[in-house]
Amino acid sequence: MPDGCADEPLAELDGRTPLEAAAMPRLAAIARRSEVGRAAVIPPGLPPGSDVGNMAILGYDPAEFHTGRAPIEAAAMGVELAPDEVAYRCNLVTVDAAGTMVDFAAGHPTDAQSHPIVAALDAALGDGRDGVRFHPGVEYRHLCVVPRDWVDAECVPPHDLTGQPAVLPTGPAAAKLIALMDASRDVVTTAAASVRSDATQIWLWGQGARPALPRFEDRFGVRGRLSSAVDLVRGLGVLTGLEVVDVPGATAGFDNDYAAQRDACLTSLVDRDLFLLHVEATDEAGHAGDAGEKMRALERWDTDIIGPLVDALGDEPYRVLLMPDHATPCALRTHTSDAVPYLMFDSTLDGAGGEYTESGVADLEPVVAHHLMARLLA
């Protein structure tokens, strides 16, 4: 799945979306033999996040199973949550003196930069004090575990605030969260200076308790694996029993090694019936408002993943489901709840065919996204 690849028409692309403007001949070829349509990945009332959208893609109804984003990432990191604990996503962010969210990702620090900052946070503010613990993740994405009575708060994701005033949490637990975020400033800025990072503080959001997800194999009768550089997607693999494959060169940025993930997919299909391949670059481009980078990421999908996979599988019968977890329009720089294009391809059939773009499926009634996995594996 190309994360967040769905978009809106852009003047700089002559009224086209990146998906419409990108050169993707191999995708266009299979779309002409596929079922194409619109999928409602975000149920009403739930936030348009990758936690909700990817859960739906895997065939689980988020309205039934979703408890929050952070506990899914905790599973990926091997962080066990006790019944009386909840996890918060803990971004390293850059907020200026005027209170503006300058960068929700603090300049995308490397792990070598961010991990000492998180260690300093845990030493100064965590390490079990008042039930608070900090755990290092990847780049700017980290985890904070707190007592369960801290869960009741409304928190705005930092990527929704880029260039805007940093809206603080509200609700019964807000005072505790704000106090911890305020206290983090001195710790973060001091540690960040020593590793040349732009981080100025932490941002807490996406909280929840550990979800109870049925095993994928029990639910669908199929064993599978997945590849992703994003803890959120990897965590869904852990929670559902899909084996998570570590692929050298797979990153959450624009330097992702698409070919390495493709080769991991082909290797896995020798003894597994399902492989989920997730790339984050399209979503990162959307958040950056960079339509050109989003197009380049989509074109890498076409040249390095879709085309070679189709060639390698040859005459073998196979099916493909292609669908983003949400839209991340470049003009908005954040996620939306809009239905997204999906493609269902069966190499043994000629489907109705169509165009895998936003405009190509605009007139079609959205289907429920979490029903598609069962159809793929039927």
State pLDDT tens for residues 214-223: 999 999 999 9
For residues 112 and 49, membership in a common domain is answered with no
Task: Note whether 185 and 203 are same-domain residues.
Answer: yes
Domain of 89 in residue numbering reads as 75-208
pLDDT of 128 above 90: no
C-alpha closest to that of 327 among 293, 365, 294? 294
**Are residues 191 and 250 both part of a single domain?**
no
Residue 40 lies inside a defined structural domain of this protein:
yes
HEC secondary structure over the chain: CECCEECCCEHHHCCECHHHHCCCHHHHHHHCCCEEEEEECCCCCCCCCHHHHHHHHCCCCHHHHCCCCHHHHHHHCCCCCCCCEEEEEEEEEEECCCCEEEECCCCCCCHHHHHHHHHHHHHHHCCCHHHCEEEEEECCEEEEEEEHHHCCCECCCHHHCCCCECCCCECCCHHHHHHHHHHHHHHHHHHHHHHCCCCCEEEEEEEECCCCCCCHHHHHCCCEEEECCCHHHHHHHHHHCCEECCCCCCCCCCCCCHHHHHHHHHHHCCCCCEEEECECHHHHHHHHCCHHHHHHHHHHHHHHHHHHHHHHHCCCCCEEEECCCCECCCCCCCCECCCEEEEEEECCCCCCCCCCCCHHHCCCCCEEHHHHHHHHCC
Indicate the residue among 208, 231, 263 that finishes a domain. Answer: 208
pTM listed for this prediction: 0.87
pLDDT at 231 over 90: no
Domain boundary among 208, 231, 259: 208
Residues 219 and 311 occupy one common structural domain: yes
Let me know whether 354 and 247 are in one domain.
yes
pLDDT for residue 262 is more than 90: yes
**How many distinct structural domains can be found in the chain?**
2
pLDDT for 269 equals: 97
Assigned domain for 2 exists: no
Nearest to 277 by CA among 322, 316, 314, 312: 322
Contact 192, 198 (CB under 8 A): yes
Sequence-ordered list of residues with C-beta below 8 angstroms from that of 17, at least 6 positions apart, any chain: 6, 7, 8, 9, 10, 357, 358, 359
Residue 133 resides in a domain: yes
- Is the same domain home to 168 and 247? no
For the cut 90, the answer to whether the pLDDT of residue 330 exceeds it is yes
Does residue 6 form part of some domain? no
Query: At 55, which CATH number?
Result: 3.40.720.10
Who has greater pLDDT, 182 or 351?
182
Share of residues in the chain with pLDDT > 70 (%): 100
- Do 346 and 333 have their domain in common? yes
Residues 238 and 356 in one domain: yes
Domain-embedded: residue 132 = yes
Output the pLDDT for position 14.
97
Residues 99 and 145 in one domain: yes
- The verdict on residue 370 lying in a domain is yes
Nearest to 60 by CA among 320, 241, 279: 241
Examine the domain organization and report whether 102 and 218 are in the same domain. no
Does residue 1 fall inside a structural domain? no
Question: Burial level of 36, CB count in 10 A (0-12/13-18/19+)?
Answer: buried
Contact 280, 138 (CB under 8 A): no
What the block records as the tokens of 109 is 């620090």
Question: Cα separation of 227 and 245, whole Å?
Answer: 5
The per-residue pLDDT for range 69-127, each reduced to its tens digit, is 999 999 999 999 999 999 999 999 999 999 999 999 999 999 999 999 999 999 999 98
Q: Is residue 304 part of a domain?
A: yes
351 pLDDT band (50/70/90 cuts)?
Answer: confident
**Last-in-domain residue among 189, 208, 227:** 208
Same domain (yes/no): 193, 222: no
Q: Which residues of 307-337 are buried (b: 16+ CB within 10 A; e: fewer)?
A: bbbbeeeeeeeebbbbbbbbbbbbebbbbbb
105 with 41, same domain: the answer is no
